[in-house]
Amino acid sequence: MTLLLAAVSGETADAFVQIGAVVVLLAVLARVAGRFGITAIPLYLLAGLAIGEGGAPYLDAGEDFLQLSGEIGVLLLLFALGLEYTADELRHGLRTGTGSGAVDAVANFAPGFLAGLALGWETTTAVLLGGVTWVSSSGVVSKVLADLHRLGNRETPSVLNVLVIEDLAMAVYLPIAAALIAGRTALDTVVTVGIALAAVAVILALALGSGARLSALLARGGDESLLLAVFGLTLLVGGLAEQLQVSSAIGAFLVGLALSGQVQQRAAHLVGPLRNLFAPIFFLYFAFGISPRSLVDVLIPALLLAVVSAATKLVSGWVAAAKAGVGPRGRVRAGTVLIARGEFSIVIASLGVGTVDGGEIGAFVAAYVLITAVAGPVAAKYADHIPIPARLLRPAPA
């Protein structure tokens, strides 16, 4: 018994040392990113490559903890994203942004899907890559807008509308992608997708219709009670959503949407530190099983796709801002700020880990996100210096 306890104690100590070292490393990377004014996501991915199976000091004792922490990080990341939107903003986005969202979907899904086919991947994996190139990183975009002091710019509501439509579209896209990956018969796939979409519709209706009552109920407790409640609800709804073939991340996102008013602000303040702890672990763990050599192999095609999909995001931003009557320079700013891909792209890629092309899409998306998450903020910063063809310098339609 004494020997058993000693062995367990030794394993725990090893896990503590490894996990502690990883978290300290993440802290250093976050500080470096802040020093240079860039998002830390690329640095977290590089750290995962360096310490994972393909890197040097493989973490065996702490891997299970890192995996679970990463999954919690996804839920908290998407919950916090849901808190960014109010019910009124959501309804406004659905009313005014659907047309721009459709242009954004077609223009940005196509490059990834076609690239997947060109790489010789299965159609299902190509569909996942289409989703990766489709959706911008709401987290990176929000940070860039705040850092560049553009939250009050005329084009910013158009950008936010595009993000709202993309995030809601993921609630439809992810269940369909998950059903396709499961490889079921056509009838089973239709049934699974139908159940998933019905679950999303019910949760969304509850979020919009009963969110005020839920917020009022949660507002009665103190900060400790509120933190435990929202954290528990996020895990509970995320788990139930996963059982209904809906992404757990979407369930967490809809929980965030349901909160409003003072509770929404308090929850954002309380959950922020937890998100900042667990979300970096998610990005790190995603790259954990990717060999750095495989990343080098896909660097050129990932770079080419990043260039093409940067251009299509410029189209998305241009169209969305033009519909709002914004001038050409503001349209360019709207397009450049949408270039970065991040959290949702990683979530989508993680769905394909078990597919035939799972190893390839993991490495490809890691390289792609690395490139766009760095290039996007840089392009946004210097958007006013990007030349615009003379034929496009026409006033926005009234």
Residue 249 DSSP symbol? H
Residue type at 26 in one-letter notation: L
SS3 94: helix
Buried b (16+ CB within 10 A) or exposed e, 316-336: bbbbbbbbbebebebbbbbbb
What are the sequence ranges of the domains in the chain?
11-386
Query: Considering the entire predicted model, what is its pTM?
Result: 0.76
User: In angstroms, how far is the first alpha carbon of the chain from the final one?
Assistant: 81
Length of the chain (residues): 398
How does pLDDT run along the chain (398 residues), one tens digit per residue?
Answer: 554 445 446 677 877 888 888 889 999 999 998 888 777 878 888 888 887 665 555 566 567 788 888 889 888 887 887 787 776 766 776 677 788 889 999 999 999 999 999 999 988 899 999 999 999 987 788 778 877 788 778 888 888 888 878 877 887 787 778 777 776 666 777 777 777 677 777 767 776 677 778 888 888 888 899 999 999 999 998 888 777 766 677 778 778 888 878 888 899 899 989 888 888 888 888 777 777 777 888 999 999 999 999 999 999 999 999 988 899 999 999 999 999 998 788 888 888 777 766 678 888 998 999 899 888 888 998 898 888 887 776 654 54
The alpha carbon dihedral of 146, 255, 338, 44 has a sign of positive
The alpha carbon dihedral of 358, 359, 360, 366 has a sign of positive
H-state helical runs in the chain: 2-36, 41-51, 63-83, 87-96, 98-118, 123-134, 138-147, 156-182, 186-209, 211-218, 223-243, 248-258, 261-286, 292-297, 299-323, 328-337, 343-351, 358-381
Q: Quick one: which of 46, 29, 114, 89 has its CA closest to 305?
A: 114
The structural architecture, per CATH, of the domain 11-386 is Up-down Bundle (1.20)
Helix (H) or strand (E) holding 58: none
Residue type at 216 in one-letter notation: A
Give me the half-sphere count of Cα atoms (radius 13 Å) on the Cβ side of residue 108. 30
Give me the half-sphere count of Cα atoms (radius 13 Å) on the Cβ side of residue 202. 11
